Amino acid sequence: EVQLVQSGAEVKKPGESLKISCEGSGYSFTSYWIAWVRQMPGKGLEWMGIIYPGDSDTRYSPSFQGQVTISADKSISTAYLQWSSLKASDTAMYYCARAGDYSDYWGQGTLVTVSS
Residues that bind other proteins (CB under 8 A): 35, 37, 44-47, 49-50, 59-62, 95, 97, 99-104, 106-109
Tell me the closest approach of the beta carbon of residue 9 to other proteins, in angstroms.
13
CB of 95 to other proteins, least distance (A): 6
Task: Kindly tell me which of 1 and 116 has the beta carbon lying closer to other proteins.
Answer: 1
Nearer to other proteins, 18 or 37 (CB): 37
Q: What is the rounded distance in angstroms from the CA atom of residue 4 to the CA atom of residue 49?
A: 17
Q: Which is nearer to other proteins, 50 or 92 (CB)?
A: 50
DSSP, res 44: -
Buried (b) or exposed (e) across 4-14, using 16+ Cβ within 10 A?
A: bebbeebebee
